[in-house]
């Protein structure tokens, strides 16, 4: 069992100050609501007010922060579900965007709520209602109040898919006493890599093991069959490729390559999927191109189609046999390649992938992805060997899903009945 030692000064100070969050929360949330940054129908979930009834039986609660982290939970939930067919699963996250994307990709017997803000009264409402048998946290962001509330109630805690680079470790090490109290309360800690495992032990985690990344094991993204059929008809005869989760630096490279391809063969069509749909207006104005969010369909003369609707990567990866993964030509340092791998798209990427270094190294070792330069992207897109990359990447994704059961069994063994 995890260490339930007396809390240190930093943790006690945090708990003493956290009720202030509750006093300011309604005002802050309403301001965010006016700006469109909160869900108008569900924002009160962040005050701990449940939006759904609790199902009977064992309930396993999993929390992650961003879209990528939330989506990576799906494969792990599938493994937990296979091992315990009666369990129900609650995913919590904070961002409205993550809720929108996971809504179309929820595993069976799984539902989503927003995590309440980290203050005692909201957390008490949440925990009183949901009464989780187990609390699972993903990656690296912990909410101290929520973790400590679980410890106080005797709710078992697991940290999975943990990732912490040197910069993140240095930030946390400045308040090491707080993190020591948090990590010491976890019954199981599963790290993605040796560096993370070492950092977690230095910060006070006790039960640390290394199991790799969950992102490679995520199942294929869902798709609306009607939308897929409609697009297949509209794009018949076109030569498609997708630039996914792009930022300005990636778009400059992709657009230059598409210009060369279009000059050679106007059947080529670039599907441009910006990471932040809020940028779509600016991009559309600069390119004078059609936008998915406005209902426009690509025609035979369309060279660039702006796919700016949330949560449709499952559609584009099914349609396009080649995917350039964004964030890899600028300071973002990469995005997740495994969603493309699971759907059989050949993976190309730029040189800057530090946030997914291990993932891209694994793909490169298996000849399942290819790093390209800005100047070499056009030639890479024409390479007849790309289907082989796609097949090997899909094989890696399938194998990763098969390896989840041992960790899932360990985690389930922690849960209360």
Q: Are 381 and 389 in contact (CB under 8 A)?
A: no
Spell out the SS3 assignment of the chain.
Answer: CCCCCCCCHHHHHHHHHCHHHHHHHHHHHHHHHHCCCCCCCCHHHHHCCCCCCCCCCCEEEEECCCHHHHHHHHHHHHHHHHHCCCCEEEEEECCHHHHHHHHCCCCCCEEEEECCCCCHHHHHHHHHHHCCCEEEEECCCCCHHHHHHHHHHCCCEEEEEECCCHHHHHHHHCCHHHHHHHHHCCCEEEECCHHHHHHHHHCCCCCEEECCCCHHHCCCCCCCHHHHHHHHHHCCCCEEEEEEEECHHHHHHHHHHHHHHHHHCCCEEEEEEECCHHHHHHHHHHHCCEEHHHCCCCCCCCCEEECCCCCCHHHHHHHCCEEEECCCCCCCCCCCCHHHHHCCCEEEECCCCHHHHHHHHHHHHCCCEEECCCCCHHHHHCCCCHHHHHHHHHHHHHHHHHCCHHHHHHHHCCCCC
Residues involved in catalysis: 69
The CA–CA distances, whole Å, from 123 to 3, 278, 391 equal: 22, 32, 46
Give the HSE-up count for residue 258: Cα atoms under 13 Å, Cβ half-sphere: 25
The first and second tokens of residue 5, run together, are: 């030692």
Q: Which residues contact 303 (CB under 8 A, 6 or more apart)?
A: 258, 262, 266, 268, 269, 270, 289
């Amino acid at each position: 069992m995890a260490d339930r030692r007396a809390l240190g000064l930093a943790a006690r100070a945090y708990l003493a100050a956290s009720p202030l969050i509750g006093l300011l929360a309604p005002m802050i949330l309403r301001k965010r609501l006016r700006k469109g940054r909160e869900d108008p129908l569900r924002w009160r979930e962040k005050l701990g007010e449940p939006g759904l009834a609790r199902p009977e039986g064992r309930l396993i609660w999993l929390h992650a922060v961003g879209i990528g982290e939330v989506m990576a939970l799906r494969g792990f939930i599938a493994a937990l579900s296979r091992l315990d067919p009666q369990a129900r699963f609650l995913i919590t996250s904070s961002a409205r965007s993550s809720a929108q994307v996971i809504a179309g990709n929820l595993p069976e017997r799984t539902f989503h709520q927003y995590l309440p803000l980290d203050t005692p009264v909201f957390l008490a409402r949440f925990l009183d209602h949901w009464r989780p048998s187990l609390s699972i946290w993903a990656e690296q962001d912990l909410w101290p109040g929520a973790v400590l509330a679980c410890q106080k109630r005797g709710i078992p805690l697991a940290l999975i898919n943990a990732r912490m680079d040197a910069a993140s470790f240095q930030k946390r090490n400045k308040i090491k006493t707080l993190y020591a109290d948090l990590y010491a309360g976890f019954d199981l800690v599963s790290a993605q890599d040796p560096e993370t495992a070492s950092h977690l032990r230095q910060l006070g985690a006790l039960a640390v093991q290394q199991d790799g990344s969950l992102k490679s094991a995520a199942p294929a993204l869902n798709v609306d069959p009607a939308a897929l059929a409609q697009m297949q008809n509209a794009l018949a005869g076109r030569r498609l490729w997708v630039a996914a989760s792009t930022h300005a630096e990636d778009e400059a490279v992709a657009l230059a390559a598409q210009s060369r391809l279009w000059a050679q063969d106007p059947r080529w069509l670039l599907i441009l999927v910006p990471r932040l749909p809020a940028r779509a207006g600016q991009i559309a104005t600069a390119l004078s191109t059609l936008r998915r969010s406005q209902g426009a369909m690509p025609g035979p003369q369309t060279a660039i189609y702006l796919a700016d609707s949330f949560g449709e990567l499952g559609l584009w990866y099914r349609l396009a046999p080649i995917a350039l993964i964004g964030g890899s030509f600028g300071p973002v340092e990469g995005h997740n390649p495994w969603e493309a791998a699971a759907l059989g798209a050949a993976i190309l990427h730029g040189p800057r992938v530090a946030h997914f270094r291990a993932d891209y190294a694994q793909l490169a070792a298996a000849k399942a992805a290819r790093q390209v330069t800005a100047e070499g992207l056009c030639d890479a897109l024409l390479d007849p060997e790309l289907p082989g990359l796609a097949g090997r990447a899909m094989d890696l994704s399938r194998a990763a899903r098969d390896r989840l059961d041992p960790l899932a069994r360990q985690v389930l063994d922690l849960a209360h009945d």
